Structure 1
Amino acid sequence: MDQQNNAVLQGLLRTFGFTHESLAVEVNRISDRIYGRPGQCTDREVRRWISGAVRWPTGRYLLPLTEIFERPPEAMGFVPRGKSSRLPVPPPRPPADREEETPVKRRAFLIASTATSVALALSIDDTPVRGRLSLADVDRITTTIGRLDTHFDAIGGGALLTVTTAYLTRLRDAVDGCTYGPRVEQGLHAAVSALYSAAGWAAHDADELDQARLHHAAALQSAILAGDKLGQARAWSDLAMQSRLEGRHREALQINRAALESRQARQDPRIAALLHSRLAIGNARAGDRPAAARSLLAAEAAHDKFASAAPAPPWLQFLDAAEISGLAAIAHQAMGRLPDAELATAQTLQLLPPAMRRNRVYYGVQLAELQLAQGDTERARTTAAAVDTTAVSNRRIADRLAAVQHTLTA
């Protein structure tokens, strides 16, 4: 049979930010944990997987790969060859380890392990903190932050809080310790703003709301320093959402309305759709149903213009028809229109792409909550049982799921 490149695996390396060398290092690290001795994977071995010269890796490397990319071998583009191509069973751990491994300890380990893996994959330590920076350095930093946003959509922000704050420290050191021209300075402040926004959402998922507010405020400050109108619109939108989460609904409405007056909101339909959707939720919680309905219609009208707009930046790629439907569901719920909210949430889950695991968990819990609120305990039980939070680090949504399960058992 002719040799065929494994385009799926090559795409996963690009999505997760791995080079051939860094993937080999990570495979060896996980192999050491699973088998108790370091692996011997090299960048040459990774190239053989991608070229198709090796269509089914040995078990020693296959288990680490399934853990790194969180999917079975076939979903990584590998092709089984008969009964010998089976996913091996991990060797048993010592009894003492099993006795000490409580769910809380295991979750903490997984979060720490994921954070370490992401930090290695993104190579955040490669960003220089001394010497002269060029626009090419700014491009690399911006690309790294975009990859971090992709990880957020896949696994949630709770596991990424330490990564984002560590990278923030490094970027601030670069701003203070390097030399550069005016255009590079502007790009650096824009990158720092984007990273502060990512850190704010990571803190949100970790249920650290005070920290989240500080990060969102810092994102706005850095965007102003950069003269970055898109970054400012993003920061205002996040601050409005933050105020709503803290129960300051009037403040959230004021921020949202001010953001909608910006030139960026008038020119970019994606920003407009996001702001109108969040304004609908704010109006609904303030008891202004007509205003909420007008905002929902405005969000849908903005969505209709997506096809003619410029490509979305990485942080806005989550905003699609599924997300707009999900935000509409939250507005309907706030207005007490539970059947409409349930229908919109179910539609969101149908539209969500597989890679958006964080949002799938979020809206899965929301659907169970809506079904429970309407007294449909059997469907709520089925929905809640189908929600898998193990691969997504979001303390707030995990607590909401626990509350649903507690009510069902009670």
Structure 2
Amino acid sequence: MDTTRNTVLEAWMDEHGHSSNSLAEAVNAAVGDLTGRVGGLDGSSVRDWKSGRVRWPKSATRAALEKITGLPATALGFVPRGRASSYPAPSQEDPVNRRRFITAGTAFAAVTTTPAFASPRRIGTTDVERLQQRFTEIIASDHRHGGQLGIEHKAAALADEVLALQNSGSASQRVRAHLYGCAAAFRSSAMWAAIDGRRYHDAIGHMREAQALAELAADPAIKFRIWSHAGTLYRHMGRPTEAIAANDVARNLSLTRRDPMFASLGHARQAASYGLIGDARAVRRALGSAQDALARADRSLARPAWMAAACDGAELESLALAAHLSLGNFEQAEAHAHHSLALLRPRMQRDRAINTARLAHAQLGQGAVEPAIATAMLLPAEAITCHPRVTGMIRDFDTKLHIAAPCSSLTHVWDQHVRGNEARPSMASGWTTP
């Protein structure tokens, strides 16, 4: 790990008479002003910044620092994740040189950290609209590919760019709130890509950043997305109690009372968590509530791009499929799988691959070996090799098939299919053979 000392921050602290403890206290107070909850930093936190052990503080902390200093985080010597430092070390001997360096650093950051779409003088609704278009592009990539490290990194980089844009010019309070909402949206997409790719430690880091940004934005829709994704994260990590608690936070937002579409999605995601703990009654109740809310929802209303599958009813069917698979209700799971596949839009290739793999499991669970194998063979090579969740489900399918019908001629057909796919290098990493 690069622990190059942050001499820029040290120079600013010397110039303004701050010790590590006094700066921590000032940042804590500023975090409280921004979020309504006083920060929990101490002198050791600031010393970690100065030593370079922490090169890019959390979003709320960066916003507080920028409020205190009037400088972008990059002009204070902090380096966004994945980037090398562009700042030379200032002189430790001459305070005048340090002042000149800080001034030059501020100008440098204004040029290098401002995205191409930012206005150099006034940040306005046009900038927000361009960011929202970029977010739509991230959602489209997720629908096609899902779980890819490249999507995660791109979304995280865009979140950092939005925060740099905040410091590149003046803006109204309304526009600044929208910008924080955009940053939270990008960070939540990075979180989702990490969840989908089974990079759970990274997902937790993105989640915390996204939650802080969502508080700054006061955007209920993005809060709902982050907390319901948190429920999904904990469900995939095998922590159902925390999954249910996170889903409850999402379901209790006032947005779900104003718009039944969000309520429907919240109930459906809770059903999947109840399935994980084997509570069939709670699953039925949650799915019934989801169906009722969906029936009440006005589908003509404009909603975020990430709600598309929920608005179509496809996500409700997908989550019902997941819940019934967890319960071992394979016949009901198969029915929901067919419904979800019929409702999914063509561009949602990731969801189609996942639900096709789930359908194969549901059929195998009923002892229908031939249809199960035929379904599994429908999966494209790209989905199996590139999507960790699909890869895992097909490996699990292979294991269960050889337990259920080890000597069947149909299993032999499957084995030949697997070997044929392994002969192609692009497929080799996606399959497990006996």
TM-score range, shorter chain: 0.5 to 0.7
2:283 aligned residue (269, 292, 296): 292
2:325 aligned residue (323, 328, 333): 333
Query: If the length of structure 1 is used for normalisation, what is the TM-score?
Result: 0.65
Following the alignment from structure 1 to structure 2, what is the Cα–Cα distance between the partners of residues 366 and 294? 22
2:260 aligned residue (249, 264, 269): 269
- Partners of 1:249 and 1:282 within 8 A in 2: yes
Q: CA deviation at 1:371?
A: 2.1
Identical-pair percentage: 28
User: RMSD across aligned C-alpha pairs, in angstroms?
Assistant: 2.2
Tell me the residue number matched to 2:117: 127
Following the alignment from structure 1 to structure 2, what is the Cα–Cα distance between the partners of residues 222 and 352? 31
Deviations 1:319-371 (A, max 9, x none): 12222111111111222211111121122112222121111101011111222
Report the secondary structure of 2:302's partner residue: coil
- Partners of 2:160 and 2:183 within 8 A in 1: no
Question: Which residue identity is paired with 2:273?
Answer: G
1:207 aligned residue (190, 194, 198): 198
- Partners of 1:269 and 1:309 within 8 A in 2: no
Which residues in structure 2 correspond to 1:227-246 (within 5 Å)?
A: 227-246=218-237
Following the alignment from structure 1 to structure 2, what is the Cα–Cα distance between the partners of residues 130 and 205? 37
Deviations 1:32-52 (A, max 9, x none): xxxxxxxxxxxxxxxxxxxxx
Following the alignment from structure 2 to structure 1, what is the Cα–Cα distance between the partners of residues 400 and 282? 34
Change (3 A) 1:308 1:374: closer
Tell me the residue number matched to 1:398: 391
Change (3 A) 1:130 1:210: farther
Change (3 A) 1:216 1:292: same
Tell me the residue number matched to 2:173: 182
Is it true that 1:260 corresponds to 2:251 in the alignment?
A: yes
Tell me the residue number matched to 1:342: 334
Report the secondary structure of 1:307's partner residue: coil
Change (3 A) 1:247 1:407: closer
Report the secondary structure of 1:390's partner residue: helix
Q: CA deviation at 1:389?
A: 4.3
Change (3 A) 1:204 1:128: same
- Partners of 1:220 and 1:231 within 8 A in 2: no
Deviations 1:217-237 (A, max 9, x none): 322221111111111111111
How many positions carry a matched residue from both structures? 287
Change (3 A) 1:255 1:206: closer
- Partners of 1:237 and 1:275 within 8 A in 2: yes
Is it true that 1:302 corresponds to 2:290 in the alignment?
A: no
Report the secondary structure of 1:304's partner residue: helix
Following the alignment from structure 1 to structure 2, what is the Cα–Cα distance between the partners of residues 401 and 189? 39
2:367 aligned residue (353, 369, 375): 375
Report the secondary structure of 1:180's partner residue: coil
Following the alignment from structure 1 to structure 2, what is the Cα–Cα distance between the partners of residues 131 and 373? 62
Following the alignment from structure 1 to structure 2, what is the Cα–Cα distance between the partners of residues 166 and 308? 33
Following the alignment from structure 1 to structure 2, what is the Cα–Cα distance between the partners of residues 308 and 348? 18
Report the secondary structure of 2:347's partner residue: coil
Q: CA deviation at 1:131?
A: 4.2
Report the secondary structure of 1:360's partner residue: helix
Question: Which residue identity is paired with 1:139?
Answer: E
Following the alignment from structure 2 to structure 1, what is the Cα–Cα distance between the partners of residues 382 and 263? 34
In the alignment, structure 1 segments of 5+ residues that lack a partner are: 1-123
2:352 aligned residue (352, 360, 364): 360
In the alignment, structure 2 segments of 5+ residues that lack a partner are: 1-113, 402-414, 416-433
Following the alignment from structure 2 to structure 1, what is the Cα–Cα distance between the partners of residues 230 and 120? 33
Deviations 1:25-72 (A, max 9, x none): xxxxxxxxxxxxxxxxxxxxxxxxxxxxxxxxxxxxxxxxxxxxxxxx
Change (3 A) 1:139 1:250: same
Q: Which has the larger radius of gyration?
A: 2
Question: Which residue identity is paired with 1:325?
Answer: E
